[in-house]
Structure 1
Amino acid sequence: MAFAPLQPASAAGYAELTGEDSKPLRRLRVALDARFIALILSDHGPTRTRLLAQLAGSLPAAEYRFLRVTVPPQATRSHLTTLISGSAGLVQTEDATGTYLHPTAYDLLRRFEADAVCSYTAGRRTLVIFDEAHLLSSAGLHLIHSLSNITAGYDLAVALVLAATTSFGMRLRRPAWRALASRTGAVARVAVER
């Protein structure tokens, strides 16, 4: 399934309709359409939240399945995998016979990957939005990198948006994170609104 690229007129029309400054929003949409990770950097939490809501509202629901994960402090890779799978509705606590299930993080990640590929073949790319991404541990950043490489056919099945404080941008400059940083297509640095 081929997804339509961003039409410049639609982004401009959105800005005219809402009367909002669409430059950061437009950069984020172009990054997602180009199959890159979009990154929102702002030290003001409500500003990040507003931009995430605008971005989700501006993307066509027929083409994207939206999942949102708020990264908790000191979250392990396993915990993040459970949160992502839970937001996709893939975590089951018992089977049809009532037997308690405790899937491993690996099983949950494979379920999520299969679900994202299935969604993609049905015409909807999975967009995972990570709020408070500056709280990601090294293992969490490895998970983000793994998610950014889920493919269906020859296209990426998962799109990612990371919303974090400005210090997160500095973390991505470290040599260990160059691979993830190279997948970042647009960085929207947003100042505090007055």
Structure 2
Amino acid sequence: MKNTRYYFILLVCGIFFSTGTTMAKSHATIPFLQDTIDAPMVVYVPDIKDIREELHELAKDVRFQYDSSVLPARSIAILDRVRQLILEQGDAYQFIIRVHSHEPGQSAEQALRYSGMRADALRRYLINQGVSSQVLLTQAMGSSKRKCPDEDMETDVDCYHKNNRIDILVQPAMEEE
């Protein structure tokens, strides 16, 4: 068996060297490899703007069960895509998840506490799914950045979702000294 392997190696080397080519030029003698060897390898690296846009679109559909910090299955599926995007970036960026909450008649302190519970739920889920706590930050916004006044919330369903929303911000990671 050892002799067979030895002779095979000698045969391959003999064929290779008998063509008169060197290792560096060997691909030139194989026409079907020529295009793949000389072609530049193109790898798409998403721009921070592209990442922001995709995360913004995904975040618009993340919802919680009514009056709780429980995530329904549909939101978990969306968060799995958010998780995938974050993991694809490695530690190049930091992701800040801002949770806005507002219910008519709710005090600013209650809204902030409510936002904090929801932000913690999002953070726990993403960290449990493998996202590094180093790249993930959360902020409870409460009702500080409402997009609609209370009187419009009763008549406009979109207004309710605008005031109870999630924003995901992306920024280059802070370099440690």
Same-fold call, TM cutoff 0.5? no
Of the two structures, which has the highest relative contact order with CA contacts closer than 8 Å and spacing of 6 or more? 1
Instruction: Give the TM-score of the pair, scaled to structure 2.
Output: 0.29
Structure whose CA Rg is larger: 2
Give the alignment's TM-score, normalised by structure 1: 0.27
Structure with more of its chain in strand, by fraction:
1
